[in-house]
């Protein structure tokens, strides 16, 4: 979270000023270059840019985290022809953050062969702040959701009967919907690889025509 | 020779069994089971026991953490419940089994959160393993005879804003009025206890 507190914008802004001072008298190309950076940097622009220009350009395609309730999540946990990997996590959960880079690698490695979604258990008020900020920093491409469960106890028991609610929690479903593997706490990556490879191989033989 | 092979096979079989049960965290203390006395140091290094700390009407053993935000979210509720029910003869004992939290951190956290009950250090997480404690906060509530009558979450809302089921308080109120506890187990999202072996 501390990482996220520092804004890229301010760093870009510093870089921009530096570049601007050095290149101010240079060719038109340099000036344009500087101008481009200035528009990305922040609202503190000294240049006579249109006031609304900075926020518009700065508004990168923000990562959208989808809010779901128990019913909606249950539907998401039905595999769609491929093995489905699900990671329950939260920004406040240290081991969740620690293992996340490994999960991003898994996602990249198995892309197209499995579906992988992440479910944040953060407070709903963080859905457009710390949660997407962390996911963006991780370069996570797994579709992200945030669960607001009215009855956590029932929900937890419905996922795996001996899950006590500790996080992270990772679950792997076969295309049939059968829960094949789960882990409360950080996943053992070699173990997850084995499980994924088995399911991917099985899916390839049983569904040869699937695209 | 055959005997040696048989012995080796038996050894391997036993080893495999022990290894698999360790991995799955099977067991733990079940509802209705009696807690054996335990001995753990408090934050001053003084040896404390369950027998010595138990309340006359029951005991709550609650797993805590200095860094877990969920515990932070519950600290006021834990303190309120502890104050209210210690007056009714139910004592609280905090346990810290997190290998990542050193003694000084735990001590300063106790001061910061204002716990008025002893917090014991389960450095090797032996008690957490024996009872099957997994997350923080997680409570084990025993009656006066050390029988486990409730295990799990304190209530059903981490934020404390919309608690609709106060599991632990309901269990207290039921037992203090001589009624059976209807909900004996409930889970909630929390921080996984950071064990030594992990």
Q: Measured between beta carbons, which residues in chain B are less than 8 angstroms from residue A93?
A: 191-192
Do residues A191 and A164 lie in contact, with contact meaning Cβ atoms separated by under 8 Å?
A: no
Residue A172, pLDDT > 70, answer yes
Cβ within 8 Å, pair A153-B138: no
Task: Please report which confidence band the pLDDT of residue B26 belongs to, taking 50, 70 and 90 as the band edges.
Answer: very low
Q: In angstroms, rounded to a whole number, what is the distance separating the alpha carbons of residues A35 and A38?
A: 5
Burial of residue B140 (number of CB atoms within 10 Å: 0-12, 13-18, 19+): buried
Domain boundary among A39, A58, A77: A58
Q: How far is CA A108 from the centre of its chain?
A: 12
Whether omega before A168 lies within 30 degrees of 0, making that bond cis, reads yes
Q: Give pLDDT tens digits for B154-198.
A: 999 888 888 999 999 999 999 999 999 999 999 988 999 988 876
Mean pLDDT of A137-146: 98
Q: pLDDT digit string (tens) for A89-119?
A: 999 998 999 999 999 999 999 999 999 999 9
DSSP B155: S
Query: Residues of B with CB below 8 A from A158's CB?
Result: none
Can you tell me the mean pLDDT for A155-161? 90
CB contact under 8 A, A153 and B194: no
Q: Are residues A28 and A111 in the same domain?
A: no
pLDDT at residue A171 greater than cutoff 90: yes
pLDDT mean over A139-148: 97
Residue A200 reports pLDDT greater than 80: yes
- CB B171, CB B183: distance < 8 Å: yes
Question: A157 lies in a domain?
Answer: yes
Architecture, CATH, for domain B28-192? 3-Layer(aba) Sandwich (3.40)
CB contact under 8 A, B135 and A186: no
pLDDT band per the 50, 70, 90 thresholds, residue A150:
confident
* Nearest neighbour of A163 by CB, restricted to B68, B187, B194: B187
Classify residue A108: in a domain, yes or no. yes
Cα separations in angstroms, A184 against A167, A196, B23, B149, B177: 6, 17, 11, 24, 37
CB atoms within 10 A of CB A31: 14
Mean model confidence pLDDT for chain A: 78
- Which residues of chain B neighbour A124 with C-beta distances below 8 Å? none
| Residues B93-152: tens digit of each pLDDT | 999 999 999 999 999 999 999 999 999 999 999 999 999 999 999 999 999 999 999 999
Question: Where are the domains positioned within chain B?
Answer: 28-192
Q: Tell me the three state secondary structure of residue A174.
A: coil
Domains of chain A: total: 2
Domain end among A58, A75, A92: A58
pLDDT for A58 equals 53
Q: Which of A58, A82, A97 is the last residue of a domain?
A: A58
Do both A183 and A119 map to the same domain?
A: yes
Q: What percent of chain A has pLDDT over 90?
A: 59
The answer to whether the Cβ–Cβ distance between A153 and B193 falls below 8 Å is no
Q: Would you say residue A102 lies in a domain?
A: yes
Residue among A153, A157, A166 minimizing CB distance to B156: A153
Range of the domain at A45: 2-58
Based on the domain organization, do A43 and A97 belong to the same domain? no
Counting every residue written for chain B, the total comes to 198
- Asked about A96 being catalytic, the answer comes back as yes
Q: Where are the alpha helices (DSSP H) in chain A?
A: 2-5, 8-23, 28-41, 53-58, 70-76, 94-109, 130-137, 152-159, 189-206
A23 and A100 belong to one structural domain: no
* DSSP H or E run through B86: helix B69-86
User: What CA–CA distances, in Å, run from A15 to A19, B21, B155?
Assistant: 6, 57, 50
- Name which of A54-68, A162-176, A189-203, B63-77 the model is least confident about: A54-68
Q: Is residue A152 over pLDDT 50?
A: yes
Phi and psi at B67, nearest 5°, equal -105, -15
- Tell me: pLDDT of A210 over 70: no
What's the CATH code of the domain at A74?
Answer: 3.40.30.10
- CB pairs below 8 Å between A and B: how many? 61
Smallest CA–CA distance from B190 into chain A, residue:
A166
Between B166 and A210, name the one with better pLDDT: B166
Question: Alpha-carbon distance A139 to B106, whole Å?
Answer: 35
* Residue B139 C-beta-side C-alpha neighbours within 13 Å: 28
Residue A35 shares a structural domain with residue A116 = no
Instruction: Give the integer Cα–Cα distance in Å for A89 and A87.
Output: 6
Containing A66, the helix (H) or strand (E) segment is strand A66-68
**Closest approach of chain A CAs to the CA of B69, in angstroms?**
6
CB neighbour class for B15 (10 Å; exposed up to 12, middle 13-18, buried from 19): exposed
Q: Which of A37-46, A148-157, B10-19, B79-88 is predicted most confidently? A: B79-88
Instruction: Name the residue in chain A with its Cα closest to that of B159.
Output: A123
């Amino acid at each position: 979270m501390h990482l996220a507190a520092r804004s890229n914008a301010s760093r870009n802004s510093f870089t921009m000023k530096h570049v601007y001072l050095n290149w101010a008298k240079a060719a038109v190309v340099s000036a344009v270059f500087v101008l481009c950076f200035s528009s990305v940097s922040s609202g503190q622009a000294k240049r006579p840019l249109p006031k609304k220009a900075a926020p518009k350009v700065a508004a990168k395609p923000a990562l959208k985290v989808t809010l779901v309730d128990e019913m909606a999540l249950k539907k998401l946990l039905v595999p769609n022809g491929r093995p489905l990997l699900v990671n329950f996590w939260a920004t406040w959960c240290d081991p969740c953050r620690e293992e996340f880079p490994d999960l991003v690698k898994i996602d990249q490695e198995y892309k197209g062969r499995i579906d992988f979604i992440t479910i944040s258990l953060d407070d709903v008020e963080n859905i457009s702040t710390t949660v997407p900020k962390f996911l963006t920093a991780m370069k996570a491409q797994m579709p992200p959701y945030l669960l607001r469960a009215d009855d956590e106890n029932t929900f937890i028991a419905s996922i795996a009967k001996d899950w006590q609610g500790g996080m992270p929690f990772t679950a792997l479903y076969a295309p049939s919907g059968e829960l094949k593997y789960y882990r409360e706490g950080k996943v053992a990556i070699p173990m997850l690889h084995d499980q994924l490879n088995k399911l991917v191989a099985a899916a390839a033989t049983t569904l040869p025509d699937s695209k | 020779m055959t005997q040696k092979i048989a012995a080796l096979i038996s050894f391997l079989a036993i080893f495999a069994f022990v290894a698999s049960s360790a991995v799955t965290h099977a067991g733990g203390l079940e509802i209705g089971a009696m807690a054996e006395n335990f001995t753990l140091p408090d934050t001053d290094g003084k040896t404390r026991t369950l027998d010595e700390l138990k309340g006359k009407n029951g005991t709550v053993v609650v797993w805590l953490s200095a860094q877990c935000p969920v515990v932070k979210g519950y600290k006021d509720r834990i303190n309120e419940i502890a104050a209210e029910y210690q007056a009714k003869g139910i004592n609280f004992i905090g346990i810290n089994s997190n290998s990542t939290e050193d003694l000084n951190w735990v001590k300063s956290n106790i001061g910061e959160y204002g716990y008025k009950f002893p917090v014991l250090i389960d450095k090797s997480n032996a008690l957490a393993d024996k009872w099957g404690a997994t997350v923080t906060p997680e409570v084990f509530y025993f009656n006066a005879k050390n029988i486990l009558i409730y295990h799990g979450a304190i209530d059903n809302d981490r934020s404390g804003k919309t608690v609709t089921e106060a599991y632990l308080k309901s269990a207290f109120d039921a037992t203090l009025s001589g009624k059976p506890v209807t909900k004996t187990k409930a889970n909630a999202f929390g921080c996984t206890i950071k064990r030594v072996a992990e």
